[in-house]
Each structure stands twice: as C-alpha cells, then as structure tokens.
Structure 1
C-alpha cells in the first residue's frame, strides 16, 4: 500500500482579518489525514491573531513576529515545515473543497518533485472567476515564460531549501523559484488538470506593471531570453492596431477607454460566477 506523504500548507499573513478565516477553514477541514498547516504572521494588529488562536484546536500552527516581507515569512515557514511536499496558499485564497488535497496526493507520481495543478482566479468586486491554467509550461520547447498557479503548486521541501525565496523580490520570488526548478534537468515536474485553489486577484500580484518589472529582472538574472510583457505573443491584428494608434498619438486614449469595456466583457460574458461548497466564503456570501 502506498504510504501517504505528509503535506505542509504555508500561509503568510499580515493584517488579514477580513479574509484569513476563509483560508484557514478551507485547509483545516480537509479530509486528508497527513496534513500540516502553518501560518507565519508578520505581527498583525487588526484581529488576525484572535482568528489564528481560534483554530489552534484544529491543528493550526502559527507564529507572529516582524519579518522582511512575504517571502521572508515563507522562508521561515519552510524551515518550520515537516511535510515532504509544501503548498503555499495566500491569506486571501482558499482551497476549492474539503477533498482536494486527497485527490492531489493520489495523483503525485513516485519521482515527482513538483506537481503543478490549476486554479480559479476570483475577482473581489464581482465575485466572478476565470481559470488559471498551467498549459504554457507543459511544453518546454515552446515555453516563452509565464508562471504556473503558485497556489496550486506542491514542491518538495528540499527544493525550497535549495532555492529559498529571494527576498529581494516583492512580488515574483515564487516565479524565480519555479524558473530555477523548471530549467534544472534533475527536477521532475508533473502537471495536473485538477483545480486546486481559488486565487484572489486583489493581492500584490495584481499590480501588473510591477509584476512585469520584476519578471524582467528575473529573466536578466537567470539569463533567460524572455521579456514581459511580450508583444510578440499578441495576435498580429492586435499588434497592428496598437502600432497604428500609437502612430497617430491615440494609443493612450484608446487604452483608457478599453479598460472598462474589457472589464464589462470579462465580468458579464467571459467569466463565470463563483460557486463553492466551503463553509466560509466571502464570494458566496457565507460567513460564520
């Protein structure tokens, strides 16, 4: 009989009282028997600590002390973890249901070092969601950069000790970790179609300009031939339209006008309404 590996889930928090209980409940009510949950708090003053104390009886381990940011906190958590595989779940995210860790563990193959699942991105204002896939990374020959869903990634602890999160990055240290592993021929990455988590798009990674800036720093540091954002990945008609509008000085105006139109199309046509069965969910309107 296959021995069930221990899974550690890490969450870094700071003044997350508005969202952290939903995250915690989605983890501590999992039916997987060999699960460890650790929260590394940065010294919250808004009621977060009271919520953490409330779930100690359910096996939650936590510390609260000043840190040097998100990735410093996560590195502390890796040091505390005793699981074979580690998943990082944001303090405003949630697992999709109470059985997901069991389903994922039974998919992990013998020599897998990292399993990459998929996630739902949830818009805080509309409670609409859209899928965040890992397809771009599955073919290394055609891969041109792009992060897989970090909230759906299960990595061996040894890798996170070998490549700790670089605290010189505020947003994209997880992406740097992934790229370091992706181009290491000794690291075996497995991909799953399973939707693992609901990922809130209201966090720091929603600042796309800052993300692109950090991504480009990483590409330069690792010597990778990518650039973000890369217009060469856009459809030819889109590139021609941007070039034509820029030539007559109308591109900035068109961009400002397009943003609300795109949001309307996304939230009313392209995306779907969030639904889940978690006991607490701010997007469904279920509170304790």
Structure 2
C-alpha cells in the first residue's frame, strides 16, 4: 500500500518544439501542493528553445532528455523506462494540470483504496468543454472513446507487463487502456478535472490527423482484438449517432 509521502509521482512530459507552452506546463506541475518526485521531459530533439526554457528553471526535480524519437508513444515509453516514481502520469507539453490540488486529491484517493492501480478523472479542453469519464469500464472504452492520458494516473506496476505499442501513431493509449481494463485492473474514477487539455495536439485532433483513416481501421481492429466483437455493431451505431448529433446541434 502506498500512503502519504510513500507516493512518488513521476510526471512524464513528451515534448517537441514546445517553446511557446512548456513553461506554463511545467509551472502547473511545480505549483502542486503535494510535492512532485520528478518531472521527466522527453524531448524529440527540438530545434527551437524548448530545452533552454526547461533548463532555465534550474529545478533538480526536472530532468530533460533530448534525442530523436519515433513519435509521442515512443517518448512516453522512454519516460516509463526512466521513471523512478511509483505513480506515473503523462502530460502533454501544451497541457496543464487544472489547479494546484490535483496531486493532493489523487493521493487522497490512493490512500483510501489500498489496492487501486489506476485513478482517473475528467479533462477540460481549450474550448472549455469538459470531457467526462464517469465510472468508465472496459465496455465504455470499447463503445465510447479512450480516456485521454491527461486524465489518468497509473501505478508503476501496471507497466510491468507491457508498454505503449508504437505501431499505433494515434491510438496506442486506447490500446493500452483496453488491455489493462480487459485484465481487470482496479480503477477508480474521481469526479474532478485533472488537466486542461489542448485539443490542437495529435491525440486531440485524431480525426483531422493525416493518418486518420489508417488509425480508424486500427481502432476497429482493437475492438475485435479484446474479444468484444459482439459489441462491434454498438460501436458503429454510437459513432453514427454522435456524428448526427454534431450536425444537428
């Protein structure tokens, strides 16, 4: 059981040419009332001032690695390898933790549930829309949508079996969450906003991404992969309903 200061958060931030946003991102983590164990910025060899801005913080809890990677999930996997904390969280370099008590509230949940392995909440988009994941389970992940990585905290042990599959350029987090929920991971929803989520990122704009069609096919494959083919019609019906709803409203 992890309690109090036995809980060590590793905040993993993939970054690439993030000079315009990385400072606000880091500040949102550093202002937390519960101390952060480490902040790992995995930079994809930016050619702007991203690394210089990170280094200007001169904070020993911030560690930056700058090298070429194979996309965001490769960067996230590198962060997992480097992480020394027992709770991991992934924040985009253009995202921010919602307020200074996010980590404190997550700690309260962990302390109240000795065996919890995943804690997740909601996010607010840059347009002010709240994405809610109330009591999400495996079937919600299949039929609805992925819990975005800005909304979810993982115990380190969850990654002992597998990491993110870098064959997926946009959907690897959905694949990973389906995998652990299919395993029956002990998860807990918390009714609070975790992060401000910038929808201009790749995962936020996956339908406009140049690899959208290929990844849409990947999403369908994932539904079948996790032995949920009986729910495939519901997946398509739900997608159609959401599309019609957007056009009407």
Structure 1 length as normaliser, TM-score?
A: 0.74
Is the contact between residue 165 and residue 172 of structure 2 (CA under 8 Å) also seen in structure 1?
Answer: yes
Distance 2:22 2:200 in 1: 14
Paired residue for 2:55, among 30, 53, 56?
Answer: 53
Moved over 6 A (4+): none
Is the contact made by 2:134 and 2:191 (CA closer than 8 Å) also made in structure 1?
no
Equivalent residue, structure 1, for 2:108 = 106
Give structure 1 stretches of 5+ with no counterpart.
Answer: 123-127, 242-254, 266-288
1:11 aligns with 2:16: no
C-alpha distance in 2 between matches for 1:202 and 1:85: 27
Q: What's the offset of the Cα at 1:59?
A: 2.1
- Are residues 1:233 and 2:243 paired? no
Aligned-residue offset at 1:213 = 3.4
Q: Show CA shifts across 1:88-115 (max 9, x none).
A: 1011110011221111211222110101
Separation (CA, whole Å) in 2 of partners of 1:215 and 1:118: 22
How far the C-alpha of 1:234 sits from its partner, in A, is: 6.3
Q: Could you tell me how far apart the structure 1 residues matched to 2:193 and 2:216 are? A: 25
RMSD: 2.9
TM-score norm. by structure 2 comes to 0.85
The equivalent of 2:218 in structure 1 is 214
Cα distance in 2 for partners of 1:66, 1:27 equals 25
Rounded to whole Å, the distance in 2 between the matches of 1:54 and 1:217 is 44
Aligned residue number for residue 152 of structure 1:
151
> CA contact under 8 A between 2:137 and 2:181: conserved in structure 1?
no
Q: Of the candidates 35, 38, 42, which is equivalent to residue 44 of structure 2?
A: 42
Alpha carbons of 1:228 and 1:161: their partners in 2 closer, same or farther (altered >3 Å)? farther
The question of whether the paired residues in 2 share the 8 Å contact of 1:40 and 1:77 is answered with yes
Match of 2:161 in 1: 162
Q: CA distance change for structure 1 residues 212 and 171 in 2, over 3 Å: closer, same or farther?
A: same
Rounded to whole Å, the distance in 2 between the matches of 1:232 and 1:189 is: 27
For residues 161-180 of structure 1, the C-alpha deviation after alignment (integer angstroms, 9 at most, x for no partner) is: 32200000111111111000
Q: In 2, distance between residues paired with 1:141 and 1:134?
A: 9
In the comparison of the two structures, how many residue pairs are matched? 238
Q: 1:212 to 1:52 in 2, by over 3 A?
A: same
Change (3 A) 1:234 1:65: closer
Task: Determine the structure 2 residue equivalent to 1:198.
Answer: 196
1:134-173 CA-to-partner distances (Å, cap 9, x unmatched) read 1372485896242123202011112123220000011111
Check the 8 A contact 1:215/1:228 in 2, yes or no: no
SS at match of 1:118: strand
Could you tell me how far 1:194 is from its partner in structure 2? 1.4
Once the two structures are superposed, residues 200-231 of structure 1 have per-residue CA deviations (whole angstroms, 9 ceiling, x without a partner) of 11111213262533322322433432559944
Confirm or deny: 8 A CA contact 2:42 2:64 kept in the other structure. Answer: yes
Secondary structure of 1:76's counterpart equals helix
Quote the Cα distance in structure 2 between the aligned partners of 1:119 and 1:52: 25
What is the deviation of 1:78?
0.5
Report deviation, 1:58.
5.4
Structure 2: gaps spanning 5 or more residues: none
Q: Is structure 2 residue 117 aligned with structure 1 residue 116? A: no
